[in-house]
């Protein structure tokens, strides 16, 4: 077990905010069920809570309750792109907290194939928050150095690792309408 993965998972479990590499950019993450941690993450980014956040995991089993409540055709859409760099907006039937989904009636979900993120969410035991590591007015960080320049000592941990080799953040698609919100 990677000591950095274990440490990052422990920090999130105790309410901390971390940075970690994703498929294309560095992300900020925390325990999505810890309102104080999510509010702190949003404050670091200067991001309004109304915009909502993504839940990411490397294990499809973490979203089994999602699959159980969706029509088979929608489950097939999700699983045809997962694991991979596609985020789906899925109607919230599970009472996801407002501090995660923002002003929306859907929640953004992604099952990644990035090995570090998959190991991190497996160690954490569930999905985590994923949002680009940058203040709202700045471009997303594509290096650990840029993460440190943006946030200094404000983060509880920066997980060392490499980006997944993609040149842009995940595609975002609305499951109910198939509308592409970010390509």
Q: What is the DSSP string of the chain?
A: --HHHHHHHHHHHTT--EEEE-SSSEEEE--TT-HHHHHHHHHHHT--GGG--EEEES-GGGGHHHHHTS-HHHHHHHHHH-SSSEEEEEE--S---HHHHTT-SEEEEEE---HHHHHHHHHHTS-EEEEESS-TTSPPP-SHHHHHHHHTT-SSEE------S-SSPPEEEETTT--EEE-
pTM of the full predicted structure? 0.95
As given in the structure block, the two tokens for residue 109 are 């979900």
- Encode the chain (183 residues) as per-residue pLDDT tens digits: 599 999 999 999 999 999 999 999 999 999 999 999 999 999 999 999 999 999 999 999 999 988 888 999 999 999 999 999 999 999 988 789 999 999 999 999 999 999 999 999 999 999 999 999 999 999 999 999 999 999 999 999 999 999 999 988 889 999 999 999 998
Provide the pLDDT for residue 13: 98
Q: Is 109 within 8 Å of 170 (Cβ atoms)? A: no
As beta bridge partners, residue 18 has 29, 157
Q: Which residues neighbour 61 within 8 Å (Cβ) at sequence distance 6 or greater?
A: none
pLDDT given for residue 125 in this prediction = 98
Residue 79 is predicted with a pLDDT of 93
Phi/psi at 27 (5° precision): -120, 160
Tokens, residue 96? 């996801």
- The strand pair at 54-57 and 106-111 is best described as parallel
> Which pLDDT belongs to residue 1?
52
pLDDT of residue 133: 98
Task: Give the pair of three-digit tokens for residue 94.
Answer: 């599970």
């Amino acid at each position: 077990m990677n000591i950095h993965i274990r440490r990052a998972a422990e920090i999130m479990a105790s309410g901390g905010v971390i940075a970690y590499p994703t498929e294309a950019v560095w992300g900020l993450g925390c325990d999505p069920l810890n309102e104080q941690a999510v509010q702190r993450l949003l404050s670091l980014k200067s991001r309004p809570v109304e915009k909502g956040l993504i839940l990411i995991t490397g294990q499809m089993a973490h979203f089994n309750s999602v699959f159980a409540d969706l029509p088979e055709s929608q489950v097939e859409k999700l699983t045809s792109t997962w694991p991979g760099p596609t985020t789906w907006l899925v109607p919230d039937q599970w009472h996801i907290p407002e501090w995660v989904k923002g002003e929306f009636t859907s929640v953004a979900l992604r099952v990644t194939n990035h090995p570090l993120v998959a190991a991190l969410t497996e160690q954490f035991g569930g999905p985590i928050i994923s949002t680009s590591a940058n203040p709202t007015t700045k471009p997303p960080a594509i290096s650990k150095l840029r993460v440190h320049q943006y946030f200094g000592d404000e983060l509880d941990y920066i997980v060392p690792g490499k980006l997944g080799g993609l040149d842009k953040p995940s595609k975002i698609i609305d499951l109910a309408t198939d509308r592409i919100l970010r390509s």
